[in-house]
Amino acid sequence: MDAYCLDLEGILLPEIWIAVATRFKVKALRLTTRDVPDYDKLMRYRLRILKGEGIRLRDIQRVIGGLQPLPGAKQFLEKLRLEGPVILLSDTYYEFWQPVMRKLGCPVLFCNRLGTDRSGFISSYHLRQKDGKRKAVRAIQQCGFHVRAVGDSYNDLAMLKEADVGILFNPPASIRKDHPKFPVARNYQELLRLLKG
Amino acid sequence: MDAYCLDLEGILLPEIWIAVATRFKVKALRLTTRDVPDYDKLMRYRLRILKGEGIRLRDIQRVIGGLQPLPGAKQFLEKLRLEGPVILLSDTYYEFWQPVMRKLGCPVLFCNRLGTDRSGFISSYHLRQKDGKRKAVRAIQQCGFHVRAVGDSYNDLAMLKEADVGILFNPPASIRKDHPKFPVARNYQELLRLLKG
């Protein structure tokens, strides 16, 4: 029996920090784990910038609330959910994505939580666990499922390797080149074929 | 972070075998694990009865396709899905429930699969794993979640004990009496309050 584990940003939704950086015209928020590989360092940096710029959680939620799923994502997800359990695995935060998850039909999402201070600034972030995507794939396998996983970036590679089938969706050229053993899908039609194959 | 594990039949949907027994007027199909505690023995018995009565998988699917979720179940589930990940844990079969799951908004369901012979009779059943409900709760805990589980019958007790919080929903008097430590919800409003509490 197959279960499906999908990364969220870049697969079904646009990249959150890019959207926030664009909306508030703060170039420093465009940095990702590709630029700063240490996630803790990157997040502490982001929280400092947000506070410095006067951007509160609710400001970010307002930006995200206006975002739409990637074109075709909702229809793709509706089809996949008829095939078997679909679980979205993301390094993002529930507080960011809740309004947009409704637009995707409230799929199951395993991610993290944010804390705010009295003024409404993001003051902390609580990761569910270290190496959460890979561990979630392993846990679902231990429930007796054959796991097919989809990702697009460096923080997805451990999950793709742990899965029974790992698939790259529109990855950067560098990942594609360094990891030629993963099949690549360039659109939802190809992705659905690989997931059902 | 909380995740929610719910049994399916009796919690969100009516009991499948009761519906099939009623529709085809076959009293022998009303037996449950309360009457025959050995699940394998019960399933082999059911498959023999179905074949003897000329009832194929597609006949059962037609009955189930006409079933509706329990009154209020869809709205309850919509509210709960905004709180955190919801995973339905059932001893039933994907082939039975697929049409009705759409009516519940395609939630994630961990259950089992059936095999059919050339004439379309159910010839085999494939359990994902032994003790699947309890193991799934454990696996979700290992993903860093605090698990709140809901069930109504004997085959849910192991899952309720494994969970961080176990709740009985409209249980038979005998289970309620033998397991007084589990809080009891009698309707979705009470259940939602206990799950969010």
CB atoms within 10 A of CB B193: 10
pLDDT in tens, A138-184: 999 999 999 999 999 888 999 999 999 999 999 999 999 999 999 99
What's the pLDDT at A120?
96
B99 token code pair: 């049409």
Q: Which residue has the tokens 């399933």?
A: B43
Q: Of the candidates B160, B168, B165, B164, which has an alpha carbon nearest to the alpha carbon of residue B187?
A: B168
What's the pLDDT at A36?
78
The span from the CA of B129 to the CA of B158, in Å, is 14
User: Is the CB of B139 inside 8 Å of chain A's CB atoms?
Assistant: yes
What's the pLDDT at A197?
83
Q: What is the mean pLDDT of residues A30-43?
A: 83
Domains in chain A and their CATH numbers?
Answer: 2-196 (3.90.1470.10)
Question: Which residues in chain B are contacts of A109 at CB distance < 8 A?
Answer: 85
What's the pLDDT at A67?
92
The span from the CA of B83 to the CA of B87, in Å, is 12
Question: Which residues in chain A are contacts of B139 at CB distance < 8 A?
Answer: 139-140, 142-143
Instruction: Please indicate whether, in this complex, the C-beta atoms of A132 and B144 are within 8 angstroms of each other.
Output: yes
Q: Decide if pLDDT at A15 tops 80.
A: yes
Query: B152 with B135: CB under 8 angstroms?
Result: no
The DSSP element (H or E) to which B185 belongs, if any, is strand B184-185
User: Is the CB of A130 inside 8 Å of chain B's CB atoms?
Assistant: no
B28 token code pair: 């022998």
Instruction: Flag residues of chain B having pLDDT under 50.
Output: none
Angle at B161 between CA B38 and CA B34, to 5 degrees: 25
* Integer CA distances (angstroms), A100 to A96, A109, A182, B19, B82, in order: 9, 12, 29, 38, 11
Q: Decide if pLDDT at A37 tops 80.
A: no
Using the Cα atoms of residue B51, residue B53, residue B58 and residue B64 in order, give the sign of their dihedral. Answer: negative
The span from the CA of A136 to the CA of A129, in Å, is 10
Q: Decide if pLDDT at A103 tops 90.
A: yes
> Could you give the count of Cα atoms lying within 13 Å of B86 in the half-sphere of its Cβ?
24
The span from the CA of A104 to the CA of A125, in Å, is 24
What's the pLDDT at A76?
98
Give the CA diameter of chain B: 51
Dihedrals phi, psi of B86, to nearest 5 degrees: -120, 125
By C-alpha distance, the chain A residue nearest B99 is A82
Q: Which residue has the tokens 């659905």?
A: A192
User: Is the CB of B174 inside 8 Å of chain A's CB atoms?
Assistant: no
pTM of the model: 0.94
Instruction: Please indicate whether, in this complex, the C-beta atoms of A106 and B82 are within 8 angstroms of each other.
Output: yes
Exactly one of B7, B91, B95, B156 is catalytic; name it: B7
**Confidence tier at A35 by pLDDT (50, 70, 90):** confident
What's the pLDDT at A99?
81
Query: B163 with B5: CB under 8 angstroms?
Result: yes
What's the pLDDT at B104?
94
